A and B are shown apart, each in its own frame.
Chain A
Amino acid sequence: MTTLTLSQSKPVERPEIKEKYDHFIGGKWVAPTSGEYFDNISPIDGKVFSKAARGNKQDIELALDAAHAAFPTWSKTSAAQRSKLLNKIADIIEENLEMLARIETIDNGKALRETRAADLPLVIDHFRYFAGVIRADESSISEHDEHTVSIALHEPLGVVGQIIPWNFPLLMATWKMAPALAAGCCAIVKPAEQTPTSIMVLMELIGHVLPPGVLNVVTGFGPEAGKPLASSPRIAKVSFTGETTTGRLIMQYASENLIPVTMELGGKSPNIFMKSVADADDEFFDKAVEGAVMFALNQGEICTCPSRILVHEDIYDVFMERVIARTKAIKMGHPLAEDTMMGAQASNDQYEKILSYIDIGKQEGAEVLCGGDKAELNSGLETGFYIQPTIFKGHNKMRVFQEEIFGPVVSVTTFKTTEEAIAIANDTMYGLGAGLWSRDAHELYQVPRAIQAGRVWVNCYHNYPAHAPFGGYKKSGFGRENHLMMLGHYRQTKNMLISYDKNKLGFF
């Protein structure tokens, strides 16, 4: 294939990034006990741009020591004070948004316009949201009878382990850190191997805000640092975002320690376009077309990627013609260039995996409507991990319709009736996200209710407000993230059952 010659604005300047980063444990920068560091490769050009500490069991134990030392005080710190510190963190991130956005782009490979407009603003807002909700949060009390009162009081779980994915390194870390800290827990965070740097730059900015030991970040490889964290008898909970096998393994460890877990394990989200979408060629139709092309947001590396388009057969031609044209208009290029719309896949193995799925899609007889190959870009990006946004047409039993490719690949199929649309939508192991597009007021309520997924976007897609609960049905996991209900995932209930009756029961 030919190499694309880029004609675009110049990439913005790279912020200063240290040659290597240590762990952040107990409020200090701590060198790995092994003395070893591993390379962090930028997906932009496949080149090493920093090193991360290679954490192991000893490092995790140090973090556990620090977190347990901090917990007695932090858990009793007033909501007002915890809120103030979370707000301070948000303010610092806001002041450094541009720098952090650039580093996130270098670490993950996603386009700068996304880190600037989505990742970092959402990080800031999530800290502010949880700073806010704990000021209004209350426990409950009930009078069972005139002498008996039950108080259900929230208490933080303790020291929690949080394993972060690489698709939104700072935002997914924030989804876990902000509610845990708000709830009064201390956290040990293990970032993904692919993206260990941006969170350390964040810790350089906010590390001093919190008391030592409240928030600890240990980098390293899953089997060396993630496993001792997830299997430690010294943690009160594990929160994990990732894939099903590791999810099961973490639950296996949790079963040995009898602790709760939260699992967010991905999906194969249907995006349903009802017949009424094409009733007019207006703003709404245009919005729906964009909604279908949302599969390419973040290079498709989103658990809720709308990777299955289900479109009514009567509007297939008119709708898909527009979707294909819009997909072809996606400007690929240097992720740090301001006019780039889609950047690089996060790592070489992901890149290879996505290409292997494009291959099996073709073998299974899916028709390539656009894309269908790697994207070979020039201007220094030859060694980066770029894939063309790809649309397959096929049927729901094909593997490209059933497996999470985690790349800019969408598979489209048609339906005749609402019942068929719902049946196809639910014919999947997963149930994380879904989209429903319609002008029909009845469908807007009834169809989302029939879809087995934890989040159904109705006439929109890919919004992630802190104020809306997010999580999976079926094999997509359990537990929720975001929303004040998240506090409940980091707390347990102390029930004080009080008798104000001076008289004995009379049993003995």
Chain B
Amino acid sequence: MSPDKKTFIPRVLITEAAMDTIDTLRKRFGSELMFHQSGGCCDGSSPMCFEKGDFKVGGSDIWLGEVYGCDFFMNSDQFEYWKHTELTLDVTPGRGSSFSIEIPMGIRFMIRSRLFTMEELENLIPTKTGEEVLEEGSIK
């Protein structure tokens, strides 16, 4: 199998409820969306949703892949501790704070995690830096 035909295992999955929320937000904002996984205090460790391009990514960010058509990023030092886990983007009722755009809906994106198996770890989708993503213009 040539490398470009290899089927990679995605790092980020998504629940139906999260897909519905993304559809609603796309319609409301009339634009594509992006996610950046946060860390730290308060609402840290939650994924933040923005209109595509509103959050400036760069060389210190890692692109984990696309989830339901949205680029999903995380800071590289945080990724070091997360890279062995499969992330599932979910949504839960709750009044989160932060600038994530779903918050006025009274719901909050959240991440559920599972450990990858040793076999899966060898076949994960290759990551890129945020800078590489910007240079390419679009991800495919």
Residues of A within 8 A of B (CB): 38-41, 54, 165-167, 192-194, 221-224, 226-227, 230, 241-249, 252, 264-267, 301, 303, 347-353, 356-357, 359-360, 363-364, 397, 399, 402-406, 429-430, 475-476
How far is it, in angstroms, between the C-alpha of A397 and the C-alpha of B84 when the chains are bound?
Answer: 11
Decide if B110 touches A349 in the complex (CB within 8 Å): yes
A217 to chain B, nearest CB (A): 15
B37 CB-CB contact with A under 8 Å: yes
Tell me, in angstroms, the Cα distance from A112 to B93 when the chains sit together: 26
In whole Å, how far is A273's beta carbon from the nearest beta carbon of chain B? 24
Q: Is there contact, CB below 8 Å, between B115 and A356?
A: no
Q: Are A222 and B98 closer than 8 Å at their CB atoms?
A: yes
**Sample of 18 A–B contacts (CB below 8 Å):** A40-B95, A166-B42, A166-B97, A241-B42, A243-B46, A245-B98, A246-B48, A249-B54, A347-B94, A348-B94, A349-B92, A349-B93, A352-B94, A359-B112, A363-B113, A403-B45, A405-B45, A475-B77
Q: A194-B95, A363-B115, A406-B42 provided; 15 other pairs, C-beta below 8 A?
A: A40-B95, A243-B42, A243-B43, A243-B98, A245-B38, A252-B55, A265-B44, A350-B94, A351-B94, A359-B113, A363-B114, A403-B78, A404-B39, A405-B45, A475-B40
Contact among A227, A244, A406 with B99 in the assembled complex (CB-CB below 8 Å): A227
B21 at the interface (CB under 8 A from A): no
- Choose one: A244, A264, A356; the contact of B75 (CB below 8 Å): A244
Asked if A475 and B39 make an inter-chain contact with CB atoms under 8 angstroms apart, the answer reads yes
Nearest opposing residue in chain A for B81, CB measure: A402
Give every chain B residue within 8 A of A359 (Cβ-Cβ).
112-113
Whether B110 lies near A430 (C-beta < 8 A) is no
Shortest distance in angstroms between B36's beta carbon and chain A's nearest beta carbon? 5
Q: How far is the CA of A54 from the CA of B95 in the complex (A)?
A: 13
What distance in Å separates the Cβ of B30 from its nearest Cβ neighbour in chain A? 15
Shortest C-beta distance, B47 to chain A (Å), equals 9
Determine the distance from Cα of A125 to Cα of B115 in the docked complex, in whole angstroms. 47
A364 and B45 contact, Cβ closer than 8 Å, known pairs A41-B95, A349-B95, A429-B78 = no
Given contacts A242-B43, A347-B94, A348-B94, contact A429 B77 (CB under 8 A): yes
A267, B40: Cβ atoms under 8 Å? yes
User: In the complex the two chains form, what is the Cα distance from A247 to B43 in whole Å?
Assistant: 11
Q: B9 interface residue, CB < 8 Å from A?
A: no
Residue of A nearest to B58 (CB): A248
Q: Is B103 an interface residue (CB 8 A)?
A: yes
List B96-130 residues whose CB lies under 8 Å from chain A. 96-101, 103-104, 106, 108, 110-115
Number of residues on chain B facing chain A (CB within 8 A) = 42
| Beta-carbon contact of B55 and A404 below 8 Å | no
State the CA gap A10–B110 with chains docked (Å): 36
* Whole-angstrom CA separation of A357 from B104 in the bound complex: 25
* Contact, CB under 8 Å: A364 / B77: no
Q: Separation in Å of the B101 CB from the closest CB of chain A? A: 5
Question: Chain A's nearest CB lies how many Å from the CB of B12?
Answer: 15
Which of B39, B77, B97 is within 8 Å of A194, CB to CB? B97
Minimum C-beta distance from B42 to chain A (A): 5
B1 contacts partner chain A, Cβ-Cβ < 8 Å: no
Residues of A within 8 A of B115 (CB): 360, 363-364
Q: Which residues of B are found within 8 Å of A349, using beta-carbon distances?
A: 43, 46, 92-96, 108, 110
A357 to B78, CA, bound (A): 15
Residue of A nearest to B45 (CB): A403
Interface core residue of A226, A246, A350 (most chain B CB under 10 Å): A246
A166 CA to B78 CA, complexed, in Å:
24
A171 to chain B, nearest CB (A): 14
Chain B 42-79: CB-based contact to A (< 8 A → 1; otherwise 0): 11111010100011100000000000000000010110
Taking CB atoms, residues of chain B closer than 8 Å to A249 are 48, 50, 54-55, 99
List residues of chain A with CB within 8 A of the CB of B108: 349
| Residue of A whose beta carbon sits closest to that of B57 | A248
A443 to B36, CA, bound (A): 40
Is B82 an interface position by the 8 A CB rule? yes
A251 smallest CB distance to B (angstroms): 10
User: In the docked arrangement, what's the CA distance between A265 and B37, Å?
Assistant: 14
A348–B93 contact, CB under 8 A?
yes
Assess whether A192 is in contact with B114, with CB atoms less than 8 Å apart: no
Chain B CB count within 10 A is highest, among A242, A245, A356, for A245
- Residues in A whose Cβ lies below 8 Å from that of B111: 356
Q: Which residues of chain B have C-beta atoms less than 8 A from A243's C-beta?
A: 38-46, 98
* Shortest beta-carbon contacts, A-B, top 5: A349-B94, A266-B41, A243-B44, A266-B40, A245-B38
Contact present for B104 and A224 (CB under 8 Å) = yes
A265–B42 CA distance with the chains assembled, in angstroms:
8
Q: Which residues in B have their C-beta under 8 angstroms from that of A363? A: 113-115
In the complex, A223→B98 CA distance in Å? 7
Which residue of chain B lies nearest to A230 when distances are taken between CB atoms in the complex?
Answer: B99
Q: Are B38 and A221 interface neighbours, CB within 8 A?
A: no
Cβ distance B90 to chain A, nearest Cβ, rounded Å? 9
In the assembled complex, the CB of B11 is this many whole angstroms from the nearest CB of chain A, namely: 14
**Bound CA span A216–B95, Å:** 23
B97 to A: closest C-beta gap in Å? 4
| Complex CA distance for A427 and B41, rounded to whole angstroms | 18
Q: When A223-B100, A245-B37 are in contact, do A353 and B42 touch as well, CB less than 8 Å?
A: no
